[in-house]
Structure 1
Amino acid sequence: MAESTTQHHPRAGWDKPDLDLSDAQWRPGSRGHGDVQIAFVEGFVALRNGGSPHSPSLIFTPDEWGAFVSGAREGDFDLT
């Protein structure tokens, strides 16, 4: 059974593609630390919990991914 993503999320504002992630080349999200993994598939960025790889993946457009990475670098998600 191929791993795929959810087709539609009501808060997304548009339908995300139903990507086949079964052959995705997953890599660590940050220098090999933690469980976050990312893969670039069909022009989108997939994000998953490497500790639970069969759980649903989040799918980002390149613009969404860029905004997320910029926010993380600027400390938007820091707990302090």
Structure 2
Amino acid sequence: MEDMNVPAWRKSSRCGTSTCVEVAKVDDRYLIRDSKNPQSAALAFTKDEWDAFVEGVAAGEFRF
């Protein structure tokens, strides 16, 4: 039987061979981790926090 709480990590297709962050969704949490150090602890966000982040990215709030 498959464990539904095991994260299915996804990496952006834009990463290529470089190091990127990976994202997974488990239950009602969105997880982010460093792809070069996958054993380290992941950051966890609620749906509302994740939605605010995605909207901020789309709006260009994180451009330098």
Q: What are the equivalent positions in structure 2 for 1:2-21 lying under 5 Å apart?
A: none
Name the residue aligned to 2:55: 70
| Distance apart, 1:31 and its partner CA | 2.4
Unaligned ranges ≥5, structure 2? none
Aligned-CA RMSD value: 1.5
Deviation by residue 1:22-79 (Cα, 9 ceiling, x = unmatched): x211011x32515111111011100111111112211010010000011011111111
List structure 1 runs of 4+ shifted beyond 4 angstroms: none
Q: TM-score, structure 1 length as denominator? A: 0.63
| Amino acid of the structure 1 residue aligned with 2:49 | E
> Is residue 57 from structure 1 mapped to residue 42 from structure 2 by the alignment?
yes
| Amino acid of the structure 1 residue aligned with 2:9 | W
19, 25, 28: which one aligns with 1:43: 28
Unaligned ranges ≥5, structure 1? 1-20
Percent identical pairs in the alignment equals 37
Q: TM-score, structure 2 length as denominator? A: 0.77
Partner of 2:33: helix, strand, or coil? strand
